[in-house]
Structure 1
Amino acid sequence: MDVDIGNALGTTPGLTEETLERLDDRVASAHERIARGMDADEFGYASLTLPETTDPEAIREATDAFETPSAVLTVGIGGSALGAGTLSDALPSDVDAYVLDNVDPDDVKRLLGSLPLDDVVINVVSRSGTTAETLANFLVVRDAMDRAGVDWTERTLVTTGEEGNLRRLADRHDLPALDVPEGVPGRFSMLSTVGLAVAALQGYDVEAVLAGGRDGMDALSGSLFESPAYAYGATTYALAERGALTNAVMPYAESLETFAEWFAQLWAESLGKDGLGQTPARALGATDQHSQLQLYRAGPRDKLVTVIRPTERAEVPIPETDLEGLSYLGGSSLGDLLDAEFDATEASLAEAGVPNVRIEVDRVDERALGELCYGMEAACVLYGELANVPTFTQPAVEWGKRAARGLLGGGEFPEADAVAEKRELRIERG
């Protein structure tokens, strides 16, 4: 993974090299703190050791309990699903992957009605085993399999903590089960059992994903000028401090669209604390440069745009044509056109003084994805250290979970009482 921060310099808001050089002393101190946390296996910091601590053999053993299915359905939410989805949507496989990460009844009904339930592996993921959305969806899936005459116990893999409802269910029915790693928040768990079980079921090279993560670990150093991940984390932090409070992440590869969703959770849940943070926005190049780029270039000067691309792509030639005004396209390729769109976006933003950062990977494969996601996690942790926010907690998320559980009768939670206090100003159609 390479990072180019040149277009973040001299913009509005923007930085100078002198600013970054001054910040580099703080990066060195933050790196020391991060390294200590990794060495001590502290909560949160343990996430950055996953490329070394994750056991691919345990993942293989659990997933080998199933013959190659036609599809795998992950039942989870947030970090329990987005890491696996990032890999599944980025890489080709003969095994289709689906996710139930919402409780929209129309969508759940449609999806279950379209799946061959007798040849699907259900991958249910919840650290606590109490996540309302996940357990509700799992109960619905289990019921659908029962009604279809499918033994769900023969088609279910559980990934959960050492205790809780799912652990007891796995023990009772002797289901294949994987442990969620200790000390790793869900949004940082891609390079663990949480993100890699589906990869194994789809036939991906799990070891290569972890090797990419180790590449990212090896690239960490005490200077932002020597570490791509820290260069990104320090630059985004410094720009946010100067008013770039939105980070629009814009991959120029359809295969990385779900990666942008994964990034959005990582960035928002980790850094949105104490009135601080940087709002992640998702875009897709070249599609959204025909729409959102208008706002990024000509709207309020409160944005950073992160553009991401692989430098190696499949070659799809554009045929020659004699159509007037289109002959310039003939003889080139779709990859050439996409690269030109990428370069034009960078130049358009730079000319308007809008800060943008380029991230490049060699290609979209297992190793590159492991390195890219590890790099973004390390960047996020560094940003949190520099901003002095508790990166690994999510109190606002937990508040909402308690409120929802209380409303459903899952216990006495004072957060649920706030629902009755909602202020209303209704405007009804006549």
Structure 2
Amino acid sequence: MTIQNELDIDIRNLLGQAWSVKAEDLSAMAGLMEKAGRSLTKLRESGKGPDGSDVLFPRLPYILDEDVLITEEEKESLLHADELAKSADILISIGIGGSYLGNQMLFDVFCGPYWNMMDREERNGFPKVFFAGQNMDPHGLLQLVEEVERESRHAGRKCRVLLLVISKSGTTIEPSSALKALRTLLIPFADISLLAITDREKGSLRRYANENHLPCFTVPDGIGGRFSELSQVGLVFARLIGVDIKDLLSGARMVEEACRSEKAEENPALFLASLKYAASRKYGIAAEIIMPYGDTLRSFGWWYAQLLGESLGKKYDMAGHVIHYGRIPVAAVGTTDMHSLTQEHQQGAKNKLVQFISVKESRSRLSVPCEESGETGDVPMDFMLESARKANEQALAAEGRMSCAIKIRKITPFHLGALMYFFFLTIAYEGALADINAFDQPGVEDYKKILHQDIRDYIVRNK
């Protein structure tokens, strides 16, 4: 299957093999697949999820063309956000979950690990970038403070620090703690400005921004955190690091318009979702390894793990029956984890499928001398990377292990937007197939209640 030759989906090791999903399995599911197709059509038209709550992610590809998810004022501010970034020396993105993982992915893909070592001219005027609020561990936060202090000493003046804080409620413990700590600890050697992305009306962060006349963007209603990277949550950050957001959204739009059919054979997202559903339900697949090839897409695996785990890991179906649906998400990276995790994938329990991600056209070319069985010659490393992926795929198939491979033509904002949105749709369709709500996360709230109570008890004890 292919979407306009920009995104290829290879399902040979997921369908039609002696050890994989069979054509007759899909025939038996025909009614269910049609129902899932109709379910997403209805969701697109009504903007309502299976429980009646707002679910508006299908509007994301058109966010700049409509006033559904963003106001005209916000659009104008968004398109000029790069100017705000270029007035800062350091940008610190503060968030957790969907407010962190997607932005870390954008940074890793389009800036890379050596961004902060470049001079300002090499960064095209954009600031150095750091992340905070994605963990409660104080060590990393204090190290970040020390780094800003070093930058200030090196510059011989206070650093201009832009804190981008992303939290719908404003009370999520990790980002709110990081914000409070940084605003206190950075004062001696930084001039701090704040940019917030939060709830439209309610929440402590919105109140604080309004009271102090701070620039503020909205987390749109109907967009869950794990679906938010193509909303203000990701688009603002993308502008702050110089990523073309129109291209990002164009890729998503291509996929949305290619995957609207209610017939699985005409809809790659529905077809792949149906195969994964059958693999889980009939063939005991309990884990999904997302394995992009190359360091550039390493954090894409972390992003996808949240999307898969929070969306499909549900105790109840829509009728309230206990079903414990879902697959354990495992983020891996090729070729690194071929030397660590592949042994288990290859010979461990037959309860997993591997989702490969690769790129047709490498951004970099480098050949190195190789010797194989007496033959010597220069071999491109991108050829070896793809050969390693195919070798992994073939070895897994030889052991009767399911896998599928998605290949984007090249790494650009357009193709990353397409890839993210394709997975939005596969997850949504699989949720409909399983008759679960793929858009809530009630299990996440359980631990939060315990955590907040534990912190409250500590405060009371230590008054």
Map of 1:141 onto structure 2: 182
Q: Distance in 2 between matches of 1:110 and 1:343?
A: 41
* 2: CA distance, partners of 1:348 / 1:18: 26
Match of 1:393 in 2: 440
Residue 50 of structure 1 pairs with residue 60 of structure 2: yes
Which consecutive unaligned segments of at least 5 residues does structure 1 have? 413-430
Residue of 132, 145, 153 corresponding to 1:112? 145
Is contact 1:296-1:303 (8 Å) kept? yes
Q: Distance in 1 between matches of 2:300 and 2:88?
A: 24
- Offset of residue 325 of structure 1: 4.9
Q: For 2:18 and 2:224, how far apart are their aligned partners in 1?
A: 34
Q: Aligned-pair distance for 1:389?
A: 1.2
Query: What is the CA–CA distance in structure 1 between the aligned matches of 2:36 and 2:313, rounded to whole Å?
Result: 19
Conservation of the 8 A alpha-carbon contact between 2:11 and 2:403: yes
Is 2:276 the counterpart of 1:229? no
Give CA-to-partner distance per residue, 1:206-262, whole Å, 9 cap, x none. Answer: 111111110111111223322232222222111111201100110012111111101
Matched, 1:339 2:372: no
CA separation of 1:401 and 1:21: change in aligned 2, threshold 3 A: same
Distance 1:266 1:181 in 2: 18
Report the secondary structure of 2:405's partner residue: strand
Partner of 1:419: none
Inter-partner Cα distance in structure 1 for 2:375 and 2:162:
49
- 1:416 aligns with none
Is residue 97 of structure 2 the alignment partner of residue 82 of structure 1? no
Counterpart amino acid of 1:372? L
Distance in 2 (CA, whole Å) between partners of 1:355 and 1:390 is 26
Q: Which has the higher strand share?
A: 2
Give the Å deviation of 1:65.
Answer: 3.7
Q: Secondary structure at the match of 2:242?
A: coil
Which of residues 364, 381, 405 is equivalent to 2:411?
364
2:420 aligned residue (373, 382, 388): 373
Between the aligned partners of 1:207 and 1:411, the Cα distance in structure 2 is 48
Query: What residue identity is the alignment partner of 1:314?
Result: R
Within the alignment, does 1:211 sit opposite 2:260 as a pair? no
181, 194, 201: which one pairs with 2:240? 201
* Structure-1 residue corresponding to 2:366: 317
Aligned to 2:216: 177
Q: Aligned runs of 1:281-320 on 2, under 5 Å? A: 281-320=330-369
Aligned residues: 407
Asked whether the 8 Å contact 1:124–1:138 carries over to 2, the reply is yes
SS of alignment partner, residue 128 of structure 1: coil
Q: Deviations over 1:46-78 (max 9, x none)?
A: 112211125554422455444353442111110
Cα distance in 1, alignment partners of residues 229 and 420 from structure 2: 8
The one-letter amino acid of 1:156's match is L
- Aligned equivalents of 1:387, 1:27: Cα separation in 2: 10
Equivalent AA in structure 2 for residue 217 of structure 1: E
TM-score, L = length of structure 1: 0.89
- Change in Cα spacing, 1:88 to 1:327, as seen in structure 2 (3 Å) is farther
SS at match of 1:349: helix
Q: 352-361 or 221-230: which moved more? A: 221-230
**Matches of 1:120 and 1:244 in 2, distance apart?**
47
Is the Cα contact below 8 Å between 2:396 and 2:402 reproduced in 1?
yes
- Displacement after TM superposition at 1:13 (Å): 5.4
Residue 291 of structure 2 corresponds to 250
How big is the shift at 1:359? Answer: 0.5
Moved more, 34-43 or 127-136: 34-43
Partner amino acid, structure 2, of 1:26? L
Q: Do the aligned residues in 1 keep the contact of 2:90 with 2:162 (CA within 8 Å)? A: yes
Partner of 2:42: 36
CA distance in 2 between partners of 1:234 and 1:96 (Å): 43
Shift of the alpha carbon at 1:197?
A: 1.0
Which moves more between the two structures, 307-316 or 332-341? 307-316
- Go from structure 1 to structure 2 and tell me whether the alpha carbon gap of 1:112 and 1:31 turns closer, same or farther (over 3 Å shift): farther
Report which stretch shifted further, 37-46 or 165-174. Answer: 37-46
Q: What's the RMSD between the two structures over aligned residues?
A: 2.2
Kept in 1, the 8 Å contact 2:16–2:23? The answer is no
Report if aligned partners of 2:365, 2:382 keep a CA contact under 8 Å in 1. yes
Among candidates 151, 157, 163, match of residue 202 of structure 2:
163
Query: What secondary structure sits across from 1:230 in the alignment?
Result: helix
The answer on whether the counterparts of 1:47 and 1:183 sit within 8 Å (CA) in structure 2 is yes
Q: TM-score, normalised by structure 2?
A: 0.83
2:365 corresponds to which letter in structure 1? V
Matched, 1:19 2:25: yes
Secondary structure of 1:45's match?
coil
2:92 to 66, 70, 73: 73
C-alpha distance 312-327 of structure 1, shift in aligned 2 (>3 A):
farther
Q: Provide closer, same or farther for how the CA distance between residues 329 and 59 of structure 1 changes in structure 2, counting only shifts above 3 A.
A: farther
Aligned-partner SS, 1:183:
coil
Give the partner amino acid of 1:170.
A
SS across alignment from 1:119: strand
SS in 2 for 1:189: helix
- CA separation in 2, counterparts of 1:248 and 1:264? 9
The amino acid across from 1:289 in the alignment is M
Percent sequence identity is: 30
Cα separation, 2, equivalents of 1:260 and 1:122: 26
| Greater Cα shift, 350-359 or 290-299 | 290-299
- Kept in 1, the 8 Å contact 2:84–2:240? The answer is no
Q: Is 1:408 equivalent to 2:439 in the alignment?
A: no
1:377-430 CA distance string (max 9 Å, x none): 111111111111111111110111121112222999xxxxxxxxxxxxxxxxxx
Alignment match of 1:238 (pick from 278, 288, 305) = 278
Unaligned runs of 5+ in 2: 1-6, 65-69, 116-122, 153-158, 316-323
Give 1:120 shift. 3.2
Q: Secondary structure at the match of 1:310?
A: strand
